Amino acid sequence: MVKSFFTSRVASFRYAFHGWHHVLRTQQNIWIHTAIATVVFFLALWLRLPARDWAVLVLTSAMVFAAEFLNTAIEAVVDLASPNKHPLAKIGKDVGAAAVLVAALAAILIGLLILGPPLWLKLISLFS
């Protein structure tokens, strides 16, 4: 009983990593998200942001990645259910893409609010 519990948990993680790998292989936008998140995290390190700011940045980044992952899942299911073009299939895909856009725009705003003031002060001190 305990062995089957752990075996099924390992399988669940394996499936999740397969999904992650699929997104990395097939979705160009995930590389844009990754590059931007990397820059944000290096800036946060350079600015020595407090833990609370880090928590918000990590959560925000995770929100964007989760939206992209869910959008990819929606697209795959819609393609399976409706291999031919259909107006409802288009709506499903468009709404999934809009969810990623909302998450990305929110992430930009949050990044500006958190990184903007300390970055501005650091740049002023470097150039004055």
Q: Is residue 70 in some structural domain?
A: yes
Q: How far is CA 85 from the centre of its chain?
A: 28
Three-class secondary structure of residue 69 per DSSP: helix
Instruction: Summarize pLDDT for 62-109 with one digit per residue, the tens.
Output: 999 999 999 999 999 999 999 999 999 999 999 999 999 999 999 999
Judged by phi (left if over 0) then psi (alpha if -120 to 50, else beta), residue 31 lies in alpha
Nearest in space to 54 (alpha carbons), one of 118, 122, 121, 101: 118
Examine residue 52 and state whether it is found in any structural domain, yes or no.
yes
Q: Does the residue 5 lie in any domain?
A: no
Residue 87 lies in domain: 28-127
| Domain containing residue 39: CATH number | 1.10.287.3610
Q: What is the pLDDT of residue 112?
A: 98
Domain count, the chain: 1
- Just list the catalytic residues: 68
The separation between CA 54 and the C-alpha centre of its own chain, rounded to angstroms, equals 15
Is 47 a member of any domain? yes
d(CA 109, CA 63): 13
- The model's pTM is 0.90
